[in-house]
Structure 1
Amino acid sequence: MKITHAERTALNVPFYAPHVDHAMARANTHNERVWVYRLETDNGLVSITDGHGASDTAGLVGKDPWTIMWDDDIGFGPQVAAFDLCGKDAGVPVHALLGNKLRDRCPLSWWDIDMAPEDWVKEAEESLRRGYTSFKMKARPWRDIIAQIDAVSQVVPVDYRFDVDFNGFLLTQAKAEQILSQLDQRVNVGMYESPFYLRRDLKGAQMLRERIQKPIVEHFGDDVWQTEVSDGFVVGGGASGTMRQGIMAAALNKPFWLQMVGAGLTTTFAAHIGSVLS
């Protein structure tokens, strides 16, 4: 099997509501641009995938998808398409190419950039309408995260979870302890991601972990797991890197949160990876 055609198309997919559009335009972290990839092979197979990044497709023609599907360097969208083509060629779902399936269902989380409390309330209500049971929130120092959490807690059930991602903005162990000790008392709060970047102050991170009740997680890295400053990991990237990180998390008996950026086709691939990682 050889790839005979490879193309990349830019799409702008609008956000679903004006308050989301406004918040995302202000944050300037993720925009409406999604890249769609189409690969065709000499045995009549076609794969269409998406991704947040613009990966080059020029060098894919003539390649055998079986020889490149584990190559993270070809880019996420083309790599997912290669897996899809190989699954179709073998007559198996993609998860069968990744490993042994461990579960039939994988939880997916709602995601939002920082917003005013009333807009996060709208987001939580919409997430419930669509069947979500968790919400990854971007906490920022220019907002009151305690007030935001308290507002959203009023519209979700007690078993709904908030995963609060600070992206390092609390800066120090002392500031993080001050905020997280208050959030520990909120029943819907599930975990904290990068209250400050733990690898920048490993001793402070160890101290924080001892004093805070709920899990503190960080993006996977050797310095983080070797010093045991994190209760779990955020893993992601290409298929090879993600699988390595997930397998290491299992060896360390740590939970992980799988992070992949894209639209619905990316989400589907993430579910396949999530079905084989323990």
Structure 2
Amino acid sequence: MPTHGPARAGALDDLLVERVETFVVELPTIRSFEIAGGTVATAGQPSRRVLVKVTAGGIAGWGEATPTPSWTYETTESIVTTIDRYLAPAILGAPAWNLDAVTATFDRVINRGFTIGAPIAKSALDIALHDLIGRAVGVPLGALWGQRRAERIPLGWIISAKTPEAVADSVTEGRALGYTAFKVKIGLAEIEQDIAFVEAVREAAPSAAIWVDANQAYQVDQALQVARRLADLDVTAFEQPLPANQITGLRRLREHSPVPVALDESLRHPSDLATFVRLDAVDVAIAKVQRSGGLALSRRLCALAEDSGVRLMGSGLTDSDLGFAASLHLFSAFGIDTPVDLNGRQFIQSTYTGGRTVEVHNGLAAVPTGPGLGVDVDEAAVRALAVDVLRADAQARIPAQSVR
């Protein structure tokens, strides 16, 4: 691992947050993507991401938020207003290095309620602060944490199609690019058709690792029916089959499912995982940076899973390269060696990067070695890509003048 030179004395003490800027950028969409909740991306239509720049001591760090209303409640507009009007003002003048205090501040400003509040908005700032600190001391995040167990992370190719024929075509495309593991989105159709999709993947890739994700699509009886069919197809994990808050149902399912049950949407805060561990209702915990409010809380969740004997898998939110890099550092820190769902490269282009970025070859992503996230942002490109969603929204609500 390359070194990046020592930080000057007192460098971290000088890192007081001076400015927070948000940019909504429109990125090219390569392929369409659907989940049980609805459409995530549409080929030919731009995909929006909220990029955040935090400046402290003359150093800038960058983070990313991925609005996915078909998956959770945070929209592009709500992420921007939450950061600009609530989270950013609360940390101006605060030490950028004190991530524990920042997390506590965020929880006071946007209350957790039943679970973490506005995690995607909080995550963008948390990632940017991690990037800033790493750049200030000249080391990648793994060195900052003293925890880097892997140099490459295997990726899974995402299958989201509406016919078995389209599924087979997608598998062929992924295999041609060197992918040897596949995550299948189900819950988009009737159960028999869902099973037909998984069968098509298994037929096209007889020896591949396959796991499925229902994105909360089923009830307990349906999920058990599906799980028994999936076992015959050598599926390694059944991700989020039930609604996130069906704790009793998930416990019942875990007791009877022949396929390990993995939780994603159910695990927003580390305390959520603690509840499922106490109830013996989880086989696999999905680590997902944006879902859990950033890297600080995600590290706590992963450590709890590790200490509790719960297997870890990794996932993302169709992140562009900033979020992609953040997830790779987290998964490397905890040695997640099973294929992960970091699918941004499959569906969008990160046209705001310049210089160093994430390298992917034959389905393996290299954990960045540059300082901070290890991804360079071309700020001029960001500003050129940026759109004012709040102004556009306000203009759309202005009624047309009546004709006199």
Q: What range is the shorter-chain TM-score in?
A: 0.7 to 0.9
Q: Point out where structure 2 has 5 or more consecutive residues left out of the alignment.
A: 1-14, 68-78, 107-120, 336-404
Corresponding residue for 2:328? 271
1:122 maps to 2:169: yes
Asked whether the 8 Å contact 1:136–1:162 carries over to 2, the reply is yes
How big is each residue's C-alpha offset from its partner over 1:67-92, in whole Å with a ceiling of 9 and x where there is no partner? 24773437212211111111111121
The CA distance in 2 between the partners of 1:224 and 1:198, in whole Å, is 11
Whichever residue aligns with residue 192 of structure 1, its letter is F
Do the aligned partners of residues 63 and 260 (structure 1) sit closer, same or farther apart at CA in structure 2, a change above 3 Å counting?
Answer: farther
Do the aligned partners of residues 234 and 134 (structure 1) sit closer, same or farther apart at CA in structure 2, a change above 3 Å counting?
Answer: same
Asked whether the 8 Å contact 2:29–2:41 carries over to 1, the reply is no
Corresponding residue for 1:104? 151
Pairwise mapping of residues 205-216 of structure 1 onto structure 2 (< 5 A)? 205-216=250-261
Do the aligned partners of residues 256 and 41 (structure 1) sit closer, same or farther apart at CA in structure 2, a change above 3 Å counting?
Answer: same
Corresponding residue for 2:38? 27
2:307 to 245, 251, 271: 251
The CA distance in 1 between the partners of 2:128 and 2:247, in whole Å, is 40
Corresponding residue for 2:132? 85
Q: Point out where structure 1 has 5 or more consecutive residues left out of the alignment.
A: none
How big is each residue's C-alpha offset from its partner over 1:195-219, in whole Å with a ceiling of 9 and x where there is no partner? 22486363x5455434433211223
Asked whether the 8 Å contact 2:100–2:296 carries over to 1, the reply is no
TM-score where L is the length of structure 2? 0.59
**Equivalent position SS for 1:233:** strand
1:242 maps to 2:298: yes
1:10 to 24, 29, 39: 24
Shift of 1:269: 0.7
The CA distance in 2 between the partners of 1:243 and 1:95, in whole Å, is 12
Pairwise mapping of residues 1-278 of structure 1 onto structure 2 (< 5 A)? 1-17=15-31, 20=32, 23=34, 27-29=38-40, 32-43=47-58, 45-53=59-67, 54-55=79-80, 56-57=83-84, 58-59=88-89, 61-68=92-99, 71-72=102-103, 73=106, 75-111=122-158, 113=160, 115-140=162-187, 142-143=189-190, 144-158=193-207, 160-172=208-220, 174-187=221-234, 189-197=235-243, 200=246, 202=248, 205-218=250-263, 219-220=266-267, 221=272, 222-236=274-288, 237=292, 238-261=294-317, 262-277=319-334
Q: Across the two proteins, how many residue pairs are aligned to each other?
A: 269
Whichever residue aligns with residue 196 of structure 1, its letter is L
Do the aligned partners of residues 46 and 149 (structure 1) sit closer, same or farther apart at CA in structure 2, a change above 3 Å counting?
Answer: same
The CA distance in 1 between the partners of 2:218 and 2:334, in whole Å, is 31
The CA distance in 2 between the partners of 1:154 and 1:3, in whole Å, is 54
Whichever residue aligns with residue 60 of structure 2, its letter is V
How large is the RMSD of aligned CA atoms in angstroms? 2.8
The CA distance in 1 between the partners of 2:23 and 2:51, in whole Å, is 5
The CA distance in 2 between the partners of 1:170 and 1:215, in whole Å, is 16
The CA distance in 1 between the partners of 2:215 and 2:295, in whole Å, is 24
Asked whether the 8 Å contact 1:260–1:267 carries over to 2, the reply is yes
Whichever residue aligns with residue 240 of structure 1, its letter is A
The CA distance in 2 between the partners of 1:167 and 1:272, in whole Å, is 25
The CA distance in 2 between the partners of 1:104 and 1:95, in whole Å, is 10
The CA distance in 2 between the partners of 1:4 and 1:196, in whole Å, is 43
Asked whether the 8 Å contact 2:305–2:312 carries over to 1, the reply is yes
How big is each residue's C-alpha offset from its partner over 1:154-184, in whole Å with a ceiling of 9 and x where there is no partner? 33250x2222112332202x32222211111
Shift of 1:4: 3.8
Do the aligned partners of residues 211 and 93 (structure 1) sit closer, same or farther apart at CA in structure 2, a change above 3 Å counting?
Answer: same
Corresponding residue for 2:379? none
The CA distance in 1 between the partners of 2:96 and 2:54, in whole Å, is 10
Shift of 1:147: 0.8
Shift of 1:112: 5.0
The CA distance in 2 between the partners of 1:91 and 1:79, in whole Å, is 18
Deviates further, 191-200 or 253-262: 191-200
